[in-house]
Amino acid sequence: MENNLVPKIEKEIPSTLDITEHVLPEIREWEVGKRYLVKLEVENVSQNMGSMYDPNDKNEVRSSFRVLGAQSLEMADNPNPEKEQNKEAFMRAMMKLLKMGG
């Protein structure tokens, strides 16, 4: 039986994740509102069908995970400094070549 009492939610609700500083100490230094890349090791502890937010959606798959480990990769808001240095060195070399040829 379809539930017509609760309106269908059109906006997708993103998943959330809680990580403690015990698993990822770097979070102590992180700022609210900034984006970070994290590599996770997780264990799938449960899986369910059906949306928690829309009782009419019976096809959505939901899983709960236990976080076993985490590793900070690089901040998405800031470019990788080593990559930027390589790019600058390449540009200097190209400028040098162009000046020699012209």
**pLDDT value at 40 more than 90:** yes
What is the C-alpha to C-alpha distance for residues 41 and 7, in angstroms, rounded to an integer? 36
Picking from 13-17, 66-70, 81-85, 95-99, which range would have the lowest pLDDT averaged per residue? 81-85
- Select, from the ranges 40-49, 57-66, 85-94, the one with the highest average predicted confidence (pLDDT): 40-49
What is the C-alpha to C-alpha distance for residues 64 and 28, in angstroms, rounded to an integer? 25
Largest interatomic CA distance in the chain: 77
Average pLDDT for residues 25-32, to the nearest whole number? 92
Average pLDDT for residues 73-80, to the nearest whole number? 67
* pTM of the predicted model as reported, rounded to 2 decimal places: 0.52
Residue in 52, 72, 74 with CA at minimum distance from that of residue 62:
52
Between strands 36-49 and 61-75, the pairing is: antiparallel
* Residue 90 φ/ψ, nearest 5 degrees: -60, -45
